[in-house]
Amino acid sequence: MDFQPTEEHLALQRTVRDFARAELAPHTEEWDLAGCLPVGVVHAMGDLGLFGLPFPEEWGGGGGDFTAMCLAVEEIGRVDQSVGITLSAAVGLGASPIFRFGTDEQRQRWLPDLMTGRALGAFGLTEPDGGSDARATRTRAARTDDGWTVNGEKAFITNSGTPITSVITLTAKTGENEVSAFIVPAGSPGLVVEPAPRKLGWHASDTHNVVFSDCSVPNEALLGELGAGFANFRSILDDGRIAISALALGCAQACLDHSLEYAKQRAAFGGPIGRFQAVAFALADLSVAVENARNLTYKAAWHKDSGHAYRQEAAMAKLYSTEAAVSAARTATQIFGGFGFMEESPVARLYRDAKILEIGEGTSEIQRLVIARGLGLPVA
């Protein structure tokens, strides 16, 4: 097992890091206050080829390298978590279901724009009464003479209401104990994107509830086999958990970066606060946590790229990295003291953004459940 990045990986990492520092960093506060992300940022990431990284070249992708995708998400998330989740969700939740389970016709229709950042896709699994209990789906799809009629509501859906959102994939019951997946084009009659809610963090990330009211789709909107929707989307979440681990790693690394710089510059009691063991040891522990998160993230990505089973590795990476990010944000805010509580500080936004990492794409409790079951425990 070799985690040493290739020259191609290092080159990509440098490119994305330079892009994030030059094109994102000067605007992160502005986007956070505005509560939205300019479409131009998505197009710029598309020009770098970031949306196609984990897909084969024959479909216009970057070669099917998931490790490369994680490197990009980490570097973007190190500067702006909202932009990072926009990229991660667009690839892992928007394009991936269509690539993995779609027909060639569905791929040819949707993937060219999704893989180049000309469009964004969304993924409708969570519902107001069904989050961690994804099997509690209430959205239903009923057969009609020429297709399906969808009724229901999906909650907290990323990239669902942008000007360039082109498609929403979703799960819906097609029988009493049968869940299937469908592709619904943006703007379809009966599809209503509700106003954006107020969020604690990820302010510049697009999030909406989506309502389907007698929303009609043709027969060819079925994504994958009838009844395979839940199993297929669960496997999509395994990939997404590795990407969220990379996003959390970026958050934790940013907390370490800012705290280390501040500890060297902030003077108290006649010298920099970094000379005090309380601060120095906190930074030492944070450095260890970042390294552990990095190893777990890229081990999981390596398992996926190598064709090995990776559900357990994905859950472990997601669990550890996201909890490490929340702890890192708390530590960074403590080191910054009163200034850390001010929105002008570089760690205040990270503090707000970190918490959702423990919740989205499977809570920490769900990750522990997955891991425990992987150990052979009959936990319910």
Residues serving a catalytic function are 361
* Axis crossing angle, helix 66-79 with helix 229-265, rounded to the nearest 10: 40
Phi and psi (nearest 5°) for 173?
A: -70, 130
Q: What are phi and psi of 122, to 5 degrees?
A: -125, 165
At 249 the three-state DSSP class reads helix
The single-letter DSSP state of residue 130 is: B
* Alpha carbons 74 and 13: distance in angstroms, whole number: 9
The secondary structure element, H or E, covering residue 196 is none
Distance in angstroms (rounded) separating the CA atoms of residues 306 and 270: 53
- Which of 139, 202, 186 is closest to 352 using CA atoms? 202
C-beta separation of 171 from 219 below 8 A: no
Q: What is the DSSP letter of 119?
A: S
Q: Is 276 exposed, middle or buried (0-12, 13-18, 19+ CB in 10 A)?
A: middle
**How far apart are alpha carbons 329 and 324 in whole angstroms?**
9
Token readout for 376 is: 């052979």
**Element of type H or E holding 342:** none
Distinct helix (H) and strand (E) counts, the chain: 12, 10
Gap between the Cα atoms of 117 and 97, Å rounded: 16
- State the DSSP code for 376: T
